[in-house]
Amino acid sequence: MTSRPRTPAVTLLLLAPLVGEVLNGATRLSYIFAFVPQIMVWGCGTLLIREAAHRWKAGWPSTILLGLALSMIVEVLVLQTSIAPLPWLQMASIPVHDRIWGVNWLWFVFMLGYETVWIVLVPILITELRFPDRRQEAWVGTRGLVIAAIVFVLGCIGLWAIWTQSTVPIAFKQPTYWPPLATLLLGAVGILLLAGAAYALRTLPSRTTSSSSTPAPWIVAVTAMGLSVGWWGLIVLVFAPQLPVPFWIALGVAPFWAMAASFLLARWSASAAWTERHRWALAFGALVICMLLGYLGSSLWPRIDLAAKVVLNALAVVWMLSLGRRIWRRTAPGTR
């Protein structure tokens, strides 16, 4: 009995935190050591999501809901950045205008979308593009799933201790924050409800429409960039409360923005004309915006951090273009 290659699984383990944390500059060279616990949490979490969706024979709706659940685990139970006072705002004396009932609403809603898209969906999509022959297969066996789950739990505990008990009080000089038990319980209930909904929607039928509903790949890339830029407006409002946009309007628009994006992409991807080229364009457009908007606030970074981000971003673009070239070649007319 031959052993199953684990290359796609390893690729996803690395891509999840690489795309969502390193390439956008959230984790910089100065504290790249954080990449290890991020692999344990984001990498293993995303791998578990992908494998659960595969075993359930579920589509992207279930994957999205599981991504939201993973985001809530980190935002509410682990890092707790959505329910604790944000140390960056206090250090910069930026007024807080969206914290109600112990929740940083703009940050919370932004992170729900950001972590679902750029830590879960985009890395899974890129990995499947890199290994097209393995797209319909399980990437790890039962033992691998158990190991990933154990590493995920240990990573969550470690990341909680590093961030809430060490980094915030020592690096940011902020008192340790202990969230109310009711807030943590509500978060846990929300996580269970999202996971349950993901399982319930696993049998949601996929529809195939006519080829006329799918635009050219370059339009998909531009659309992905536009949708991504719009979502980043939420985080801009967190750090620039002086902008003439009440936070409650942004919060009201956000779910409609997310639903419109989901509906549009679901309609396009359901077309018989939707190909690997479109998938690559979708991933590339989202990745480019993630990297570009990660430069917001970079004027305050050490030069070595900025230089490292520029180099890594350039390498990521070159790698994605190389992947795109291979995809165009293997999907050319007459190619088998």
Residue 2 has a pLDDT of 43
Work out the pLDDT band at 4, boundaries 50, 70, 90: very low
Residue 96 has a pLDDT of 81
- Which pTM value belongs to this model? 0.92
96-135 residue pLDDT tens: 888 899 999 999 999 999 999 999 999 999 999 999 999 9
Torsion of CA 198, 202, 207, 211, to 10 degrees: 70
- Taking the C-alpha atoms of residue 8 and residue 135, their distance in angstroms, rounded to an integer, is 9
- Taking the C-alpha atoms of residue 39 and residue 50, their distance in angstroms, rounded to an integer, is 15
Secondary structure of residue 103 in the 3-state scheme = strand
Residue 172 has a pLDDT of 84
How does the average pLDDT of the chain come out, rounded? 91
Work out the pLDDT band at 277, boundaries 50, 70, 90: very high
> Residue ranges of the domains in the chain?
7-330
Residue 86 has a pLDDT of 86
Q: Find the range with the poorest average confidence among 13-27, 134-148, 228-242.
A: 228-242
Task: Give the pLDDT mean for 284-313.
Answer: 94
- Taking the C-alpha atoms of residue 321 and residue 70, their distance in angstroms, rounded to an integer, is 30
- Taking the C-alpha atoms of residue 120 and residue 127, their distance in angstroms, rounded to an integer, is 11
- Taking the C-alpha atoms of residue 181 and residue 329, their distance in angstroms, rounded to an integer, is 55
68-92 residue pLDDT tens: 999 999 999 999 999 999 888 877 6
